[in-house]
């Protein structure tokens, strides 16, 4: 695939270069509100229209994109599948053609089918920003994660990041692997064997796999917990009742981790399923910083996609 950043929006991390990513992260920092201040509305995208099209429910990502667009001065329209023509059996192509004819400047789209934005981008002249496609990628999540890590650590290079959970079905894991790998991060993927495809070790340089959670977190600088996506279980891939016992992050794990380890989670968190409340709410947790950074990163992405 060719670089998918311009003029076709942002479809995935895999096709971005390291310098593409660095540019976005640098710009994101300029959009982070100074501590203690509320955000001023800018007019960078005044007169531009962004359509948020969510075929799959999502509160945080949709809201985050909406706020990002509004802070840049754009007009935003959010459509969710329920109650729209989508739920009346209109095909994806027809829905997008209809919206395309209304000439938005960009479409931010989430869809349960992997590759849905890639498929549409071949037929639509409007740039598409992928807000999560099936089990493929969630590019802005990886960008905001990278920003959150650099906020605390100043860099990505040389870090060791453990990603733990349902790797097979996680678009967050894929986007993070592609991004972190471009920066020379050591990546450890950990999860139940049936949710940890061996091929994941080959999708990017610097990836190793383990089924042992303690091994995964021992030397990690960052622990990223994934949501257990019960809605993505097509088959009985693991015994759900023992998940937390073997792959849930609890306080006792933190004693075996580096003292300054960062704990991250893309949300929404299932307390007591993949992460205990004590850990989620601890000093080491960067979960709320992630949410905050989501807006800054999405501002940088929208600005870039809509740049004239």
Partner 1 sequence: MSRLLIRNGRVIDPSSGTDRVYDVAVEDGIIRQVGLDIAGAGGIEQFDATGMVVAPGFVDIHVHLREPGFEHAETIESGSRAAAAGGFTSICCMPNTQPVNDNATVTNYIRAQAERYAVVNVYPIGAITKNSAGEELSAIASMKQAGAVAISDDGRPVMNARVVRRAMEFARALDIPLVEHCEDLHLSAGGDMHEGLESTRLGLRGIPRSSEDVMVARDLILAELTGCRYHVAHISSHLSVEMVRFAKSRGLRVTAESTPHHFTIADRDMLPYDSNYKMKPPLREACDIQAVVEGLTDGTIDAIATDHAPHPGAEKMQEFERCPFGVIGLETALPLSLEHLYYTGRMNLTQLVALFTNRPAAVMSLPRGTLREGAVADITIFGTDHEWTYDVNRSPSKSRNTPFHGRKFRGGPVATIVGGKIVWKLELL
Q: Which residues bind partner 1 (CB under 8 A)?
A: 1, 14, 91-93, 111, 113-116, 118-119, 122, 133-137, 171, 174, 197, 199-200, 202-203, 234-235
Q: Which is nearer to partner 1, 49 or 80 (CB)?
A: 80
Q: Which is nearer to partner 1, 72 or 131 (CB)?
A: 131
Give the DSSP letter of residue 241: G
Question: Residue 252 Cβ, how far from partner 1 at the closest point, in Å?
Answer: 32
Query: Residue 11 — φ and ψ, nearest 5°?
Result: -100, -35
Q: Which is nearer to partner 1, 32 or 114 (CB)?
A: 114
**Those residues with Cβ within 8 angstroms of residue 182's Cβ, 6 or more apart along the chain or in another chain:** 16, 17, 18, 21, 204
Q: Which of 28, 1, 9 is nearest to 142 (CA)?
A: 28
Cβ proximity of 57 and 87 under 8 Å: no
Question: Residue 278 Cβ, how far from partner 1 at the closest point, in Å?
Answer: 33
For 188, the 3-state DSSP assignment is: strand
Question: Residue 204 Cβ, how far from partner 1 at the closest point, in Å?
Answer: 9
Burial 136-149 (b: 16+ CB within 10 A, else e): bbbbbbbbbbbbbb
Question: Residue 235 Cβ, how far from partner 1 at the closest point, in Å?
Answer: 7
Q: Which is nearer to partner 1, 70 or 171 (CB)?
A: 171
Question: Residue 27 Cβ, how far from partner 1 at the closest point, in Å?
Answer: 27
Q: Which is nearer to partner 1, 78 or 114 (CB)?
A: 114
């Amino acid at each position: 695939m060719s670089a998918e950043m311009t003029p076709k929006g942002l479809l995935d991390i895999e096709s971005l270069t390291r310098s593409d990513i660095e540019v976005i992260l640098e710009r994101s920092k300029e959009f982070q509100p100074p501590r203690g201040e509320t955000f001023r509305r800018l007019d960078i995208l005044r007169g531009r229209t962004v359509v948020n099209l969510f075929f799959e429910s999502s509160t945080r990502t949709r809201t985050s994109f909406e706020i990002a667009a509004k802070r840049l001065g754009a007009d935003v329209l959010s459509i969710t599948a329920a109650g729209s023509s989508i739920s009346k059996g209109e095909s994806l192509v027809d829905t997008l053609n209809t919206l395309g004819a209304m000439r938005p400047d960009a479409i931010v789209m989430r869809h349960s089918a992997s590759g849905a934005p890639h498929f549409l981008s071949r037929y639509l002249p409007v740039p598409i920003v992928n807000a999560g496609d099936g089990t493929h990628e969630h590019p802005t999540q990886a960008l905001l994660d990278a920003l959150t890590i650099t906020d605390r650590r100043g860099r990505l290079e040389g870090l060791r990041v453990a990603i733990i959970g349902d790797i097979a079905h996680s678009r967050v894991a894929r986007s993070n692997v592609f991004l972190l790998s471009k920066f020379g991060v050591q990546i450890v993927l950990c999860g139940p064997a049936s949710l940890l495809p061996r091929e994941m070790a080959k999708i990017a340089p610097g990836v190793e796999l383990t089924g042992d959670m303690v091994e995964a977190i021992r030397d990690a600088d960052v622990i990223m917990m994934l949501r257990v996506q019960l809605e993505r279980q097509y088959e009985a891939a693991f015994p759900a009742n023992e998940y937390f016992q073997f792959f849930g992050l609890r306080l006792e794990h933190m004693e075996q981790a580096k003292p300054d380890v960062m704990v991250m989670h893309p949300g929404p968190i299932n307390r007591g399923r993949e992460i205990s409340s004590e850990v989620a709410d601890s000093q080491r947790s960067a979960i709320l910083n992630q949410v905050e950074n989501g807006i800054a990163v999405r501002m940088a992405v929208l600005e870039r996609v809509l740049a004239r």
